[in-house]
Amino acid sequence: MKYSSNHMEQYIPAKEFVDTIIIPLIPFHFSADAEMKKLAFQAEVATIFAGEIEKELSGRVMLIPPYYYVKPLEQEVEVKRLNTWVQNMETQPFTNFIFLTFDPAWKKCEKDLTGNLLWFPSIQSGDVHASETHHLITDQVAQVSELIRSFW
């Protein structure tokens, strides 16, 4: 399920079946021209990626709006804020919190996060509409869904 009004309608009576939250962690910045295109591309891929995982497992996961932050990651601030998100969601019967990211910086503060960090190497650049990108994403989605199922 996604954060949309019709999915919320579906979620509320079916709460006990939906125990997993997926939060994409997406960096951006406007401070170096050279990196901007790459980051924007990765953000697009991350969004599609998360959306596809949601489609595979939509009956049990809730994909919430992405967590955006300015790169480079300011660990202390962001971890703290992210954990308050989780705290809020814990008022509902969610038991798994999964963070999806392409940014390796999170690896260093993984242990401070309330939840499981899944880091993936990103496709560096390309065209999100190209069929190669498409195949890469579909492949990865299958594997990641498998991984998420291992938490259940």
Partner 1 sequence: MSEKKQQVSRRQFLNYTLTGVGGFMAAGMLVPMLRMAVDPVLQPSTAGDYANVGLSVDDITDTPQRVDWKVDQVDGWYESKVSRSAWVFKDDKNEILALSPVCTHLGCVVSWEGSDNYPNEFFCPCHNGRYEKDGTNIPGTPPLAPLHVYDQKVENGILYLGDAKPR
Query: Which residues make up the interface to partner 1 (CB under 8 A)?
Result: 1, 10, 14, 17-18, 55-60, 145, 149, 152
Which three-class secondary structure string do you get for 6-53? HHHHHHHHHHHHCCEEEEEEEEECCCCHHHHHHHHHHHHHHHHHHHHH
Shortest distance in whole angstroms from residue 45 CB to ligand FES: 27
For partner 1, give the closer residue by CB, 35 or 56. Answer: 56
- Which phi-psi region, left, alpha or beta, contains residue 115 (left: φ > 0; alpha: ψ -120 to 50)? left
Interface characters, 45-64, with ligand FES (x: CB under 6 A): --------------x-----
Q: 56 is in the binding site of which of partner 1, ligand FES, none (Cβ under 5 to 8 A by kind)?
A: partner 1
Determine, following the binding rule CB under 6 A, whether residue 104 of this chain makes contact with ligand FES: no
Three-class SS state of 93: coil
Residues that bind ligand FES (CB under 6 A): 17, 59
